[in-house]
Amino acid sequence: MRGKLIVFEGLDRAGKSTQCERLVESLRNEGHQVRHLKFPDRSTPIGQMINNYLKGQSEQEDHVIHLLFSANRWEAVPSIQADIETGITVIIDRYYYSGCVYSAAKNNPTLDLNWARHPEEGLPRPDICIFLDISPADAAKRGGFGGEKYENQQMQDHVRQLFGQLRSSSEKDDFAKIDAGGSLDEVQRDVLQVAMKAIERVDAENLPLGFVQPW
């Protein structure tokens, strides 16, 4: 059986990183081989350029930084595909969904959601995207935003709206929305249930790894 591609998405403070780590541990305990990735990958030269931008140490034109984020994902594709082909499940904290909505949320009239998605066409398509949904009130209870460029309330509100548009698009079957406002254990239970259902579906139907298609 091939490995699976599982992606976590959601707003800041929804608990993505924590639930990613918990799912990795759960699947490993069940005997799965698992690799855990996070985008942007700041360890590469492209990732360092993104890191400097997010920390406010450099500026980039909106289209340029979007393409850098996309290139950061593309440079990981060979290793992702190789892992999946050899039976390793890849779990990713943020993927092209975030790349699209955060760029489109800047309100640049020449960089809408449709434009942002084009560079992602052909990327490995997740077997399941687990979207951790958290209300603004619950998010506020978890503390303030960090100091990076996109971590502010106005941006997050727009991102929430754009995630809704993306989920209602042609890719809605790839999404499983989970209420992230519960306890860590409650959310973990729901995440594991969704992930195992996707794994079982891929194995039962012997589904090949898909790729992001044009809208």
Mean of pLDDT over the chain: 91
pTM for this model (two decimals): 0.92
Residues 169, 171: Cα–Cα separation, whole Å: 5
Task: Give per-residue pLDDT as tens, 37-55.
Answer: 999 999 999 999 999 999 9
Distance of CA 103 to the CA centre of its chain: 14
Q: Which two tokens stand for residue 89?
A: 């499940």
CA dihedral sign of residues 72, 74, 79, 83:
positive
Q: Which two tokens stand for residue 137?
A: 């009130």
Share of the chain above pLDDT 90, in %: 74
β-pair type (5-10, 89-93): parallel
112: left (phi over 0), alpha (psi -120 to 50) or beta: beta
Residue 160 has pLDDT above 90, yes or no: no
3-state secondary structure of 177: strand
Amino acid identity at 109: P
Indicate the range of 1-15, 16-30, 131-145 predicted with least confidence.
Answer: 131-145
Task: Give per-residue pLDDT as tens, 105-118.
Answer: 998 999 999 999 99
Mean pLDDT computed over 54-63 = 95
Of the candidates 114, 151, 215, 126, the one whose C-alpha atom is nearest the C-alpha of residue 14 is 151
Residue 144 has pLDDT above 70, yes or no: no
CATH assignment of 5-205, among 3.40.50.300, 3.30.565.10, 3.90.550.10, 3.10.310.30: 3.40.50.300
Categorize the per-residue pLDDT at 215 as very low, low, confident or very high, splitting at 50, 70 and 90.
confident
Buried b (16+ CB within 10 A) or exposed e, 9-35: bbbbbbbbebbbebbbebbeeeebebe
Residue 205 has pLDDT above 70, yes or no: yes
Residue 78 has pLDDT above 70, yes or no: yes
User: Is the CB of residue 209 less than 8 Å from the CB of residue 84?
Assistant: yes
Which residues are CB-neighbours of 149 under 8 A, at least 6 positions away? 53, 54, 55, 56
Mean pLDDT computed over 51-68 = 96
Residues 171, 19: Cα–Cα separation, whole Å: 23
